[in-house]
Structure 1
Amino acid sequence: MFRKNLTTFVMILIVIIGLVLTACNSNGSMTQKSNSKEDEVVKIVFWDDNTGPQRTPIWEDLIARFEKENPAIDVEYIGLPKDSAKAMFDAAIASGETPDVASVYASWLPEFSRRDALLPLDSYFSSWSENSKINKGAIEFNKRMVSNQKLYGIPYTQNLDILWIRSDWFKDANLTPPNTWDEFFTAAEILTDKSNNRYGFTIRGGAGGSFQLQRMMYAYSGIETFFKDGKSTINDPKHVEFLKRYFALYQHYTPISDITNDYKAMIAGFDSGKIAMVHHNIGSFAEHAKSLDSGQFEAISLPKSLNGHHVAEDGNTIGISIFKGTKHPKESWKFIEYITSKKAQSFWNQSVGQIPTHIDVLNEDWFKTQSHIQTAQKVYNDPETILFEPPFYLSEYRTILNTIVDTGTQSVLSGKMTVEVFLERWAKAMEEAKRQYDE
């Protein structure tokens, strides 16, 4: 644990030092009186929330295209590892050394805006010629979730949690992909073959697992609200029922390593042929496609709830935001215009395998022919689908997920805590955060 924390601290320190040096260099060049073309170029720093061999080249390509069209703007790319990105943003905000512009999850907007770290984009967006092309619901969600109802992020991609399955394994076992939760649990048992190191499912017990756990719980129960009469629905009996069955899969029909599995370990297990089903989102399509043939895997929706309808998390988007400390808001907005344009969104989302927010891209052939995206679209377009809104607006929301839910999951998996106690602690923490917010 110490080594992990030390590594994260060093990474944060390196990024911040880099930003300080960048700021110094930028300030120095801007104050010099020179006729050279180089001194006329404005430099902005862009942070990517999810660097890696699959996505980093996409951003580098887009940045090169942007700089070619805008030779007076130089974009410095800084990629952050997914699991430590939020901590790095937090450190940058606390130190006042934020980037000019960054890729930011919609769920981070309430906290970042409350810390006065972001620049409102309402006036920029309203005067943009393509503003009517961006998914209206996503824009409204981003405004609705912050306390002052201002716009702090322009979404360029939308996601959805689904099940990735080894369709070839299902075919060999003469099994139909699960449509109900009973069928899901049955499939996990049938497709497990420990003698060949094969398991029916994998649980994300490590970093970030709380988000997936919460989405599965509400997808199962069909409960539409996080709070009811001031009480959290987290510890509802339906969630107790689900988690008892879900955590009972551990070690019997999932690997023992699941207790510490993060995103990368979970996906690696599926792509290497050890796992039959994995709960993630459509955004991991490119990783699966790199390791598996098209006939070996497919995306299916999470089973319908006990109430008979799909429940999906609302606001599951990533957008581009400008940080308030920037000295180049116009150039940063120019970059946002480009990244959220039809051309850039088409390239990024086709490469990653996610849903664009620019409505013109929805008519392109690639979008209509990618089966995993169409699976997601069926869920979003189903009039009976319930879009569930977690309380992103609570200042303690992410802290509770990181410190109570992630660690609590591991305690339950190791047999040190019951499901009932786990959900009770989770619910009480959320209720206290809500009470403080209301006051």
Structure 2
Amino acid sequence: MLRKKQTTSVMVLIMIIGLVLTGCKGEDSLPQKSDPKEDEKVKIVFWDDNTGPQRTPIWEELINRFEKENPTIDVEYVGLPKDSAKARIDAAIASGETPDVASVYASWLPEFSMRDALLPLDSYYSKWSEKDKINSGAIEFNKRIVSNQKLYGIPYTQNLDILWIRPDWFIEANLKTPETWDEFFGSVETLTDKSNNRYGFTIRGGAGGSFQLQRMMYAYSGIETYFKDGKSTINDPKHVEFLKRYFALYQNFTPISDITNDYRAMIAGFDSGTIAMVQHNIGSYAEHREALNPGQFQAIPLPRSVKGHYVAEDGNTIGISIFKGTDHPEEAWKFLTFINSKEAQSFWNQSVGQIPTNSDVLDEDWIKTSPHIQTAQKVYNDPNTILFEPPFYLPEYRTILNTIVDTGTQAVLSGKMTVEVFLDKWAEAMEDAQRQYDELVVNPR
């Protein structure tokens, strides 16, 4: 079944590369600029990748501010559920019904650009007076991971995976917050009290869990590269060692419902007072702030690796991208630059609890007085921190995580697959995807 699926993927990839190499719909044929009359309004459609009670009102407020500043532009907001947003955009690309502009993860850019779905922003960006204020490292990362090294997204926020903990439970148990993986596993066991419906940890076994799992694995092993001499490091012995210990927590020190946990279920468990620690990112700050008292939640770094240094995923950003099918590129660009302005980035990131990419915002007081932001900056600013880069450039990267890794995680948790087989299947799929990419993109015949 895997070989059949990969053969189909090769054919699809060949078609995509053919479009790219023949210059189909290239930069010379950008959408015509709209030229509305003064009394006409232009409507652009914006898709949010993570709709919900915390974030939707933030976007609605920003759109309202933008429309007041730009009375000739209407922005239609469409919210997509976090765990199905990528699939919804995939379907829109396939049907030719994309929005004008959307919030897009950096990891989506390689695939979307290879499908010729996004508008290159290089010429717009080069003329933008505020461009030097946006994190240059994030901009260069977004260009580096796509096959033609063009710019397809401007990041308005940066994230970091951390542990959210119940500091009050640690105090009750006379435990210090974990700094090593041994202390992490020990804390999970100590803080579990099933008689009072308390568990030391929760595992995201459902949709999207693969991304967090991968970050945990490399944070533990300290391995710096995804591939070495053509072989994936996914099934490295250190990852086997970690996952055997990690998955053994299931049902013993985590809830039985973990096997189907998606993002919202996992966060709800922590916020309802059932879970002592949860691995997520600083972006769930708003949910915790709403559900818990200040002394009931705290962000701490993932423990240092067995090699002694922090490991963080590079390119953990979300940006605004413009789709190539837009009839209003100038208006879409105006909206993009507004979202990346000091005012908008400050409002969005302070509300959500993430790191702005506009340097003007980094000097604001709320940055200096937000403990979770300080925790993230501690990791990013540590000179020994390793920024680990997954192969976002592989067209099949997200598909492998969604189909092979998410389902494989559930198979291991249910006892139907061993950790070794799981990691071997994962590594094999990534290696096959890398070989296909090398043959069709890096060294085409």
CA contact (8 A) 2:197 2:274 kept: yes
What is the DSSP-based 3-state SS (H/G/I as helix, E as strand, rest coil) of the residue aligned with 2:400?
Answer: helix
* Contact 2:156/2:358 (<8 A) preserved: yes
Inter-partner Cα distance in structure 2 for 1:353 and 1:396: 31
Residue 270 of structure 2: aligned partner:
270
**Corresponding residue number in structure 2 for 1:190:** 190
2:321 corresponds to which residue? 321
**Residue number in structure 2 paired with 1:4:** none
Structure 2 matches for 1:415-434, cutoff 5 A?
A: 415-434=415-434
State the SS of the aligned residue for 2:295: coil
| Aligned twin of 1:202 | 202
Q: 2:237 & 2:426 partners in 1: Cα distance? A: 14
2:96 corresponds to:
96
- State the shift of 1:274 in Å: 0.2
On the 8 A contact 2:221/2:306 being kept in 1, the answer is: yes
- 1:279: which partner in 2? 279
Which whole-Å deviations, capped at 9, do the CAs of 1:206-236 have from their partners, x for residues lacking one? 0000000000000000000000000000000
Regions of 4+ moved over 2 Å = none
Q: Distance in 2 between matches of 1:36 and 1:50?
A: 34
Please tell me whether the aligned partners of residues 44 and 101 of structure 2 are also in contact (alpha carbons under 8 angstroms). yes
Q: Does 1:387 align with 2:367?
A: no
* Aligned: 1:140 with 2:143: no
Amino acid at match of 1:252: N
Shift of 1:359: 0.6
The aligned amino acid for 2:126 is S
SS of 1:250's partner is coil
Provide the rounded CA distance (Å) in 2 between the counterparts of 1:70 and 1:184: 51
Residue 295 of structure 2 corresponds to residue 295 of structure 1: yes
Give the whole-Å Cα distance in 2 for the aligned partners of 1:361 and 1:219.
29
Code of the aligned partner of 1:303: P
Other-structure match for 1:152: 152
Amino acid at match of 1:295: G
Tell me which residue corresponds to 1:247: 247
What does 1:33-182 align with in structure 2 at a 5 Å threshold? Answer: 37=39, 40-182=40-182
Percent identity over the alignment? 83
Q: Which runs of 5+ in 2 are unaligned?
A: 1-33, 440-445
Residues 393-418 of structure 1, C-alpha deviations (whole Å, 9 max, x = no match): 11111111111100000000000100
Distance 1:174 1:331, change over 3 A: same
8 A Cα contact 2:38 2:72, kept in partner:
no
Amino acid at match of 1:237: P
Pair 1:36–1:154, CA change in 2 (3 A):
closer
- CA–CA distance in structure 1, aligned partners of residues 61 and 220 of structure 2: 40
Whole-Å separation in 2 of the counterparts to 1:262 and 1:374: 27
Whichever residue aligns with residue 202 of structure 1, its letter is T
Question: Does 1:369 pair with 2:365?
Answer: no
Q: Distance in 2 between matches of 1:339 and 1:193?
A: 45
Amino acid at match of 1:388: F
Letter matched to residue 323 of structure 2: F
Whole-Å Cα distance in 2 between the matches of residues 221 and 178 of structure 1? 17
Contact 2:188–2:253 under 8 Å retained in 1: yes
Residue of structure 1 in register with 2:211 after alignment: 211
- The equivalent of 2:222 in structure 1 is 222
Quick one: distance in 1 between partners of 2:325 and 2:43? 14
SS of equivalent to 1:300:
strand
> What amino acid is aligned across from residue 420 of structure 1 in structure 2?
E
Computed over aligned residues only, the root mean square deviation of the Cα atoms, in angstroms, reads: 1.1
CA distance in 2 between counterparts of 1:65 and 1:117 reads: 28
Give the Cα–Cα distance (whole angstroms) in 2 for the partners of residues 366 and 235 of structure 1: 41
SS at match of 2:327: coil
Partners of 2:297 and 2:72 in 1: how far apart? 45
Q: Which residue of 1 aligns with 2:12?
A: none
Separation in 1, partners of 2:142, 2:232? 23
Q: Secondary structure at the match of 1:148?
A: coil
Residues 266-286 of structure 1 deviation map (CA, whole Å, 9 limit, x = unaligned): 000000000000000000001
**Separation in 2, partners of 1:400, 1:108:** 13
State the distance in 2 between where 1:367 and 1:396 align: 37
Alpha-carbon distance between aligned partners in 2 of 1:435 and 1:364, rounded to the nearest angstrom: 46
d(CA) in 1 for partners of 2:304, 2:259 = 26
Q: CA deviation at 1:162?
A: 0.1
Give CA deviations for 1:57-80 in whole Å, capped at 9, x if unaligned: 000000000000000111000000
Distance in 1 (alpha carbons) for counterparts of 2:396 and 2:112: 13
Which secondary structure does the structure 1 equivalent of 2:53 belong to? coil
| Superposition deviation, residue 240 in structure 1 | 0.2
Q: Is the 8 A contact 2:394 2:433 kept in 1?
A: yes
Are the equivalent residues in 1 in contact too, given 2:45–2:76 (CA < 8 A)?
yes
Inter-partner Cα distance in structure 1 for 2:338 and 2:38: 27
Could you say which residue in structure 2 is the equivalent of 1:238? 238
Aligned mates of 1:331, 1:413 — CA distance in 2: 49
Structure-1 separation of matches of 2:252 and 2:335: 50
Query: Which whole-Å CA distance do the structure 2 matches of 1:95 and 1:403 have between them?
Result: 22
Structure 1 regions of 5+ residues with no counterpart? 1-29
User: Partner of 1:357 in structure 2?
Assistant: 357
Alpha-carbon separation, structure 2, partners of 1:419 and 1:84: 27
Structure 2 residue matching 1:170: 3-state secondary structure: helix
Report how many residues are paired. Answer: 406
Q: Secondary structure at the match of 1:295?
A: helix
Contact kept? 2:175, 2:187, Cα under 8 Å: yes
User: Which whole-Å CA distance do the structure 1 matches of 2:297 and 2:347 have between them?
Assistant: 23
CA distance in 2, matches of 1:152, 1:215: 25
Q: Shift of the alpha carbon at 1:36?
A: 8.8
Q: Distance in 2 between matches of 1:336 and 1:425?
A: 40
